[in-house]
Amino acid sequence: MKKRAFYILIILLFEIIVNRQGFAQTKFNDNLSIMLNVHSGYNLPEYQMFSYITEDYIRSVELSLLKETSGKNEWEHLFNYPEYGIALFYSTLGNDRIFGREIALNPFFRINIIYKKQFRLYSRVSLGISYVNKKFDIENNYLNVAVGSHFNLHFNYRIAGNYQLTNKSKLNIGLSFDHFSNANTNEPNLGINYLTGFMGLSYRIGKLSPKQEIKRQPHIKKNTFEIILNLGGKYSRALSSKKYVTSSLSFEAKRSYFKAFYLGIGTDIFYDSSIKDQLIDAEKEYNSTDNFQTGLHFSQTIVYNKLSITIQEGIYIILTEKAENNLIYNRGILRYQISKSLSIRLAMKSHLHILDYPEFGIGYKF
């Protein structure tokens, strides 16, 4: 009954927005569309036990508002008139009794790989917050070792296409990968991954602005240097209620080979206050320097105006990671440039597919 009521509410909301004629006359609605997609797919278990717990397909419904750019600046031309928006997402998780259901709110950004009048192939990435109604409970839901908190981070990547049906409507079809977890802010934190195929319709509410032509300036390759200070927190992987402080100091040198793409190399010093308790619990020898790790990393950065996304691959050297004996580490970083020199960032440190902890930081570029 609740499921049926939710679907009815989504359809009614779609009808109200589409049929508000006065709403379409405002400037805000130029290039604005509403999109409704339905998903169906499979849970992707990282551990074999998830296969035994999963009882059903993943089924999702998504309502989105998206806005197409018109080429008013060089960045919009470089990324082939990208689109951005926000999506409301509701999904089953393969077992209502153990995993429950998820509702997520995700801002997204999508880039057109192929941009034609009738057809577009695009890539979309989003990161938002979700609420799951079932989580781990040692007495009542001990089989749910995937989710340790009601609120989680929800990551989505998809590749899809749309086909122009009428002047205002399009048919959407594609593949979507979703992952959510609490970024190790609570335990357990294995998270849930799922892959779905989707289909739906989009409808443009307002007017379509003509594409603008601008003169693109030639790119000058240059080197930049940055110092970054990060602060974070985590739980250990033993269902402990104690939260530990983490921090890091990094230096990175980058070269802008293209206006929207940088390659870099850098060094890191990490501090992880959970190492002491983890080593003691494992009956291993502990030294005061074990809380510190040092490493060397390589990075790839995609830039869109003041916003950038970076992927780092690092290797521990000199002071290594002693709790799990990890050799390599990774980071995914979302950065916003406040001024010419200062930036703020949200990062997630991991060891391959195992998330370690989130970081919030500030960087100084020179």
Residues 131 and 250 in one domain: no
Q: Give yes or no: residues 243 and 193 share one domain.
A: no
- Let me know if residue 23 belongs to a domain: no
pLDDT score of 185 more than 90: no
pLDDT tens across 150-174, in order?
A: 999 999 999 999 999 999 999 999 9
3-state secondary structure of 13: helix
Domain boundary among 175, 204, 233: 204
Same domain, 294 and 168: no
Domain boundary among 138, 170, 204: 204
- Domain boundary among the residues 176, 204, 232 is at 204
Give the structural domain span for 291.
223-365
81: left (phi over 0), alpha (psi -120 to 50) or beta: left
In a domain, 213, yes or no: no
Q: Is residue 295 domain-shared with residue 339, that is, in the same domain?
A: yes
The answer on 262 and 166 residing in a single domain is no
The CB density around residue 334, as the number of other CB atoms within 10 Å, is 14
Helix (H, G, I), strand (E, B) or coil at 344: strand
Closest CA to 225 of 248, 254, 198: 254
C-alpha 54/C-alpha 158 separation (Å) is 23
**pLDDT band at residue 17, thresholds of 50, 70 and 90?**
very low
Q: Which residues pair with 107 in a beta bridge?
A: 86
pLDDT at residue 215, rounded to an integer: 81
- 13 found inside a domain: no
Give me the CATH number covering residue 126: 2.40.160.20
Q: Are 76 and 115 in contact (CB under 8 A)?
A: no
Nearest to 71 by CA among 273, 173, 213, 225: 213
Tell me whether residue 161 is exposed, middle or buried, using C-beta atoms within 10 angstroms of its C-beta: 0 to 12, 13 to 18, 19 or more: middle
SS3 48: helix
Q: How far apart are CA 46 and CA 220, in angstroms?
A: 44
Query: Is 214 within a domain?
Result: no
Q: Is residue 7 part of a domain?
A: no
Residue identified by tokens 């902890």 is 357
pLDDT in tens, 116-125: 989 999 999 9
Structural domains in the chain (count): 2
For the segment 25-59, what is each residue's pLDDT rounded down to a tens digit?
447 788 999 999 999 999 987 667 777 788 899 99
pLDDT of residue 131: 96
